[in-house]
Amino acid sequence: MAAAFGLLSVWQFSEAMVSVVVGMVIDHAVAVGSVHALLAWGALLLLVFASLMVTYLHGAAEAFRTDQGERHRLRVEIARHVLRPLGARSGSLPGATLSLATVDAEGAGSLTQPASYTLASAVAVAGSAVILLGIDIELGLVVLVGMPVVLALIQLSTPMISRRSGTQLAEIARTSAMAADLVRGLRVLKGIGAEDEAAARYRAHSQEAKRAGVRLGRSHGILESVSTGLSGLFLAAVTLLAGSRALDGAISVGDLIAVVGLTQFLAVPIRALGGIGAQAGSAYASAARIVAFLDTPPLLADGDADAVVGGAAQVSLNEVTTGALRDLSLTSRTGELLCLVIPDPAAAGTLVRLLSGEVQPDDLSGEALVGGIPIDGLSIRARSGLLLVNPHHTHLLEGTLRGNLDPAARLDGARLAQVLDAAAAQDIVDLDERALDQPVTADGATFSGGQRQRIALARALAADRPFLVLDNPTTAVDAVTEQQIARGVKALRHGPADARTTWIITTSPALLATADRVVVVTDGQVAGEGTHRDLLERPDYQELVLR
């Protein structure tokens, strides 16, 4: 930015000097009829124009480069914050985060380029005032005193613009978040016939964003009108004073031409100085939203323990109370396939967040242990190497099917075939001649719900963690496919000497039948446990699982 400021300052000063040199030509060449003086002053004028063009060319390019670099750094910082291993507890929908990384990053970073021009404008105004003082002290003092007054009056509307800019950005983020949410759930909306209601809700939010933008535009219009009007009146007053001084003989004709040229030139720097407040207000609103986002605490706790002794995957919950869970006590053996029947979605969601490490220690009563170590006591690296929680709502990344199943490219073809068979997903590969290299659109939009669910399950199985948690992994597949998945998961992860542990939150009879043990959780507590066959003798269990 310093380079841009320096070059643009020379450009602005060269612009101001054009009128001064023209005045010199009139007084020292034309008025005296000297050809040599005319050639000398003409050569100086050419040098001024050359300086003007070269410095503007490089200064504008440097200002643009700095501006784009700042926007890029803000986008990267936002992405780094949300994608860091610990995550970010922002509470924002994906669309709102996207709005931060686009609209707000553009807004906050957009101040660097006009700031370079504005600082250069300040140099030009100061230089012009010095020149005017040299021509006539009275004129110079009028500019030095009157300019701050004009700028102060122009800046009175800046706080209002900052507030309205913040409101507009918040409405844009809310509308973007709703749009992303509606697109993600488009099939569901069509299935239940709620397209019109969803469109009406989006239209209402979009109208709010539009009205906020109109209010902001009106404020900018008022500022522009006030800025143009006040600066025009001020420059007209300076010109009239210069004309009066010329009639009185206090200044020469060349000085008058220089003063008139300078006042015309000063119109642009004054508007730049007047408008920077509004630009700073808008940039401040964007920057405040970005800072608030970057200040959000991590989503996951990061402990000090780097490993579990022996890589054990024994999991124990001891009188856990958090969210919808109440004094939940549950222990699974190493190598156990445990199914949990949890009819309350809030309790199931709380358990998933607990096992993911998303529950903060202050919000937890009791102990959640993996291999005898509290989950929040494990380092993020140890936790990610030991356990994987596959949520019900999973996301597929744009790229290829292979890239989604094996992002680290560490599995051979035989292992990939095993996990695809276990997830009953081999048919998805076979449907496209490109097989594992078939493209995947954003969030797997070209796949059906059942296909996305099976791909996500295969990805979780491919990760091969000692402790795996699956949250309702088969709700979108048919009964036959569900049977295949139940047998596949059992065969892949629970052989005779296998020490891997799997927890599945489900009410699927097919999955429950393959479990070593089934635990029923109601009202946040264990309400029963045993094999699926044994529990079927209970009417309340039958009501929960039989379809």
What is the total count of domains within the chain? Answer: 2
For 326, the domain range is 309-545
User: Tokens 């629970």 — which residue?
Assistant: 494
In a domain, 134, yes or no: yes
User: Domain ends where: 294, 326, 347?
Assistant: 294
Q: Which two tokens stand for residue 187?
A: 């099939």
**Cα 373 from chain centroid (whole Å):** 35
Neighbours of 357 (CB within 10 A): 27
In a domain, 118, yes or no: yes
CATH of the domain at 371: 3.40.50.300
Residues 436, 355: contact at Cβ < 8 Å?
A: no
Q: Where are the alpha helices (DSSP H) in 295-400?
A: 345-356, 380-386
Output the pLDDT for position 220.
64
Q: Which two tokens stand for residue 143?
A: 């500019």
Residues 221 and 324 in one domain: no
Output the pLDDT for position 165.
60
Q: Is the pTM of this model over 0.85?
A: no
Residues 279 and 314 in one domain: no
Residues 446, 186: contact at Cβ < 8 Å?
A: no
Name the DSSP letter for residue 110: T
In a domain, 302, yes or no: no
End-to-end CA distance of the chain: 67
Neighbours of 389 (CB within 10 A): 21
Residues 81, 88: contact at Cβ < 8 Å?
A: yes
Residues 412 and 271 in one domain: no
Output the pLDDT for position 317.
87
Residues 321 and 349 in one domain: yes
In a domain, 299, yes or no: no
Q: Which two tokens stand for residue 140?
A: 């110079």
What are the strands of the beta sheet with 337-341, ordered from one edge? 387-390, 467-471, 501-505, 337-341, 517-522, 525-530
> For each of the chain's 547 residues, which pLDDT tens digit applies?
677 767 887 888 778 788 777 777 777 677 666 777 778 877 888 888 888 888 888 888 888 888 888 888 888 888 888 777 666 666 666 666 777 777 778 777 777 777 787 788 888 878 877 887 777 787 777 777 777 777 677 666 556 655 666 666 566 666 666 666 666 655 555 555 666 676 777 677 777 777 776 766 666 666 667 677 777 777 777 778 777 777 777 777 777 777 777 777 777 777 677 667 767 777 777 788 788 888 877 766 666 666 655 555 678 888 888 888 888 888 888 888 999 999 888 899 888 888 888 787 777 888 888 877 887 777 777 777 888 888 888 788 888 888 888 887 787 878 888 888 888 888 888 887 788 878 888 777 778 888 888 888 998 898 888 889 999 988 888 888 889 999 998 988 888 777 788 999 998 889 998 999 999 989 888 888 888 888 888 888 888 887 6
Residues 281 and 374 in one domain: no
In a domain, 304, yes or no: no
Residue 208: which H helix or E strand, with range?
Answer: helix 195-247
Output the pLDDT for position 338.
92
- Residue 35, classified by CB atoms within 10 Å of its CB into exposed (0-12), middle (13-18) or buried (19+), is exposed
Residue 338: which H helix or E strand, with range?
Answer: strand 337-341
CATH of the domain at 124: 1.20.1560.10
Torsion angle of C-alpha atoms 484, 485, 488, 494, degrees rounded to 10 = -140
d(CA 259, CA 142) in angstroms, rounded, equals 12
d(CA 504, CA 487) in angstroms, rounded, equals 14
In a domain, 505, yes or no: yes
d(CA 366, CA 326) in angstroms, rounded, equals 10
